[in-house]
Amino acid sequence: MQLEPTFDNLTGGEHYITVVHNNGCINTLTFEVTIFDPLTLEVRQGEINQIDALALGGSGNYTYSYNDGPETIENTFYILETGTYSVTVTDENGCSITQEIFMEFIDIDIPKFFTPDGDGLNDTWAPDNITQYPNIFIKIFDRCGRSLFFFNGNQDSWDGQYQLQDLPTGDYWYIIRLNGEADQREFVGNFTLYR
């Protein structure tokens, strides 16, 4: 028996505690100690402009916070600028750990030309580095303003045709809206089709 109500270094498993009151009453309670592996967090660069966080150990049911933002269950985060980002993971018992990672923002790359001649090089036109924009909006026009092609997400590319007909060498225009809630930039410009 001891007077202090704190017990340290208990092993995992079922235990019991007996409480004795000075009036002679005795009560015994059983309880279980669950041992968890220490909570760990690995952060790394995933796809372009993406932070991947992997939590292990702890009590599970992880939530993540990026740069002290709101908690989420998502373990991936897209960045919008170059910088050092902090990632905090918290398990269901409230234990947390934070790691930092430096990430360089890679902007979309819009090609200036393409050559749809079937040689396997530059046969289609599409911006590069757009995987983080699954709902990207891209429209292609000719010099008269006729809409020639509309991208359906970030997996499309244009082959230089309109209504199954090859279009001639010349300049064509695009409008690109990244369609992200946090990044509403619009890109307008032109590129050249060479045959």
Q: What is the DSSP string of 104-124?
A: -----B--SEE--SSSSSS-S
DSSP state of 158: B
How confident is the model at residue 139, as a pLDDT?
A: 92
Q: How far is CA 192 from CA 112, 144, 168, in A?
A: 6, 15, 10
| Mean pLDDT over the full length of the chain | 90
Whether the per-residue pLDDT at 180 is higher than 70: the answer is no
Whether the per-residue pLDDT at 142 is higher than 60: the answer is yes
How confident is the model at residue 181, as a pLDDT?
A: 46
DSSP state of 185: -
* 171 alpha carbon, distance to own chain's centre: 36
**Higher-confidence residue: 174 or 136?**
174
Whether the per-residue pLDDT at 72 is higher than 50: the answer is yes
Give every CB contact of residue 71 below 8 A, 6+ residues apart in sequence. 63, 64, 65, 90
169/175 Cα distance (integer angstroms): 20
* Other Cβ atoms within 10 Å of 82 Cβ, number: 11
End-to-end, the C-alpha distance of the chain in Å comes to 92
120/135 Cα distance (integer angstroms): 27
The token pair at 9 is: 């270094």
Q: What is the pTM for the complete model shown?
A: 0.65
175/115 Cα distance (integer angstroms): 20
Residue 183: pLDDT band (50, 70, 90) is: low
How confident is the model at residue 195, as a pLDDT?
A: 87
Candidate from 5-9, 81-85, 87-91, 140-144 with smallest mean pLDDT: 5-9
Rg (CA), the chain: 29
Range 154-183 average pLDDT = 86
Render pLDDT for 12-36 as a digit per residue (tens, 0 to 9): 889 889 888 888 899 999 988 888 8
Domains of the chain plus CATH, in order, are 40-103 (2.60.40.10), 113-193 (2.60.40)
How confident is the model at residue 33, as a pLDDT?
A: 85
Find which of 13-22, 90-99, 153-162, 173-182 is predicted with most confidence, using mean pLDDT: 90-99
